[in-house]
A and B are shown apart, each in its own frame.
Chain A
Amino acid sequence: MRTKRFLTILLCSILLLGCTPRPPTWPPSLARPAETSSWQVDIERFQHSAHGNLTCTDCHADIQPGEPTTPHPDPSRLTTEATALYDYQRCAACHPYEYAACTQGVHAGARANPSDIRPDQPAPTCGHCHNPHYVTKETRAELLTSVSETCGNCHPEAVKSYEHNYHGKAALLGRETTATCTDCHGAHTVLALYETSESLPACRRCHPAANDQFASYRIHAAATLNPDPHDPRATDFKLFFWVTLFFTCLVVGVLALFYTHTGLWFLRSLHERLRRGGPHEQQPQRGGPHD
Chain B
Amino acid sequence: MTDRPTRPVEYWRFNVYHRVIHLLVLVSFFGSTISGMPLKYPHTGWARLLTRLQGGVAVMGIIHRISAIIIALYCLLHLVYIAHYVLVRKKKPWGPDTPVPSIKDFQDLWHNFLYFLGQGSRPLFDRFTYFEKFDYWAVFWGVPIIGLSGLVLWFPTFFSKFLPGFVINIAHIMHSDEALLAVGFIYIVHLFNTHIRFEKFPLNKVIFTGKETEEELRHERPLQWERLQAEPGRIEEMKVR
- Chain A interface (Cβ within 8 Å of chain B)? 2, 5-6, 9, 20, 22-23, 25-27, 163, 165-166, 168-170, 172-175, 177-178, 207, 209-211, 213-218, 221, 223, 236, 239-240, 243-244, 247-248, 250-251, 254-255, 258-259, 261-262, 264-270, 273, 279-286, 288-291
> A211, B116: Cβ atoms under 8 Å?
no
B182-216 contact mask (Cβ, 8 Å, vs A): 1 or 0: 00110011001100011101100000000000000
Cβ contact within 8 Å between A269 and B185: no
A236 touches B47 (CB 8 A): no
Q: Which residues of the other chain, B, contact A209 by a CB distance below 8 angstroms?
A: 157-158
How long is the Cα–Cα vector from A283 to B134 in the complex, in angstroms? Answer: 24
Besides the known contacts A6-B202, A264-B116, A284-B222, 18 further A-B residue pairs in the complex with CB atoms under 8 A apart = A23-B48, A163-B42, A166-B153, A172-B43, A175-B56, A213-B163, A213-B164, A214-B157, A214-B168, A236-B166, A255-B184, A258-B134, A261-B112, A262-B192, A265-B112, A265-B192, A268-B115, A290-B123
Bound complex: CA of A223 vs CA of B166, how far in Å? 12
Segment among B77-85, B87-95, B169-177 that sits at the interface with chain A: B169-177
Residues of B within 8 A of A270 (CB): 198
> Shortest distance in angstroms between B186's beta carbon and chain A's nearest beta carbon?
11
Contact in complex: B45, A218 (CB < 8 Å): no
> Does B144 lie at the interface of the complex (its beta carbon under 8 Å from any beta carbon of A)?
no
Q: What chain A residues lie within 8 Å of B178 (beta carbons)?
A: 247, 251
CA distance A208 to B83 in the complex (A): 41
- Chain B's interface size range is 35 or more
Residues in A whose Cβ lies below 8 Å from that of B47? 173
Of the residues B56, B116, B156, contact of A267 by C-beta under 8 Å: B116
- In the bound complex, do residue B39 and residue A218 qualify as a contact, i.e. CB atoms below 8 Å apart? no
Interchain nearest-CB distance for A135 vs B (Å)? 28
Contacts of B157 in A (CB 8 A): 207, 209-211, 214
Whether A247 lies near B173 (C-beta < 8 A) is yes
B17 CB-CB contact with A under 8 Å: no
Q: Tell me the nearest residue of chain B to A247, going by C-beta.
A: B177
User: Closest B-chain residue to A265, C-beta based?
Assistant: B116
Is there a chain A Cβ closer than 8 Å to B73's Cβ?
Answer: no
**Residue of B whose beta carbon sits closest to that of A271:** B118
On whether the beta carbons of B177 and A250 are closer than 8 Å, the reply is: yes
Nearest 4 CB-CB pairings of A with B: A216-B165, A247-B177, A217-B165, A264-B116
B52 touches A213 (CB 8 A): no
Q: Out of A169, A177, A251, A261, which one reaches B177, CB within 8 Å?
A: A251
Please give, as numbers and ranges, the residues of chain A lying within 8 Å of B202 by CB-CB distance: 2, 5-6, 9
- A254 near B222 with CB under 8 A, answer no
Query: Within 8 Å CB of A264, what residues of B?
Result: 113, 116-117
CB closest chain-A residue, reference B124: A284
- Give 8 A-B contacts (CB < 8 Å), ordered by A residue: A166-B172, A216-B164, A247-B173, A251-B178, A255-B185, A265-B192, A267-B116, A288-B121
Question: Which residue in B123, B163, B165 is a CB contact (below 8 Å) of A218?
Answer: B165
CB distance from A157 to the nearest CB of B (A): 16
Contact partner, A169, options B42, B122, B165, B180, Cβ 8 Å: B42
**Chain A residue at minimal CB-CB distance from B138:** A254
How far, in angstroms, from A210 to B161 measured CA to CA in the complex?
Answer: 9
- In the complex, the answer to whether A6 meets B201 with C-beta atoms within 8 Å is yes
Q: Could you tell me if A217 and B58 are in contact, using CB atoms closer than 8 angstroms?
A: no
Q: How far is the CB of B60 from chain A (nearest CB, A)?
A: 8
Which B residues from 104 to 138 make CB contacts under 8 A with A?
107, 109, 111-113, 115-118, 120-124, 131, 134
Q: Are A254 and B165 closer than 8 Å at their CB atoms?
A: no
- A251-B184 contact, Cβ under 8 Å, with A213-B165, A266-B197, A281-B122: yes
**Contact in complex: B124, A286 (CB < 8 Å):** yes
Choose from A5, A254, A267, A290 the contact partner of B111 (Cβ within 8 Å): A290
Residues of B within 8 A of A5 (CB): 202
Q: A26-B45, A170-B57, A255-B181 are in contact. Are A2 and B201 (CB under 8 A)?
A: yes
**B180 to chain A: closest residue by CB:** A251
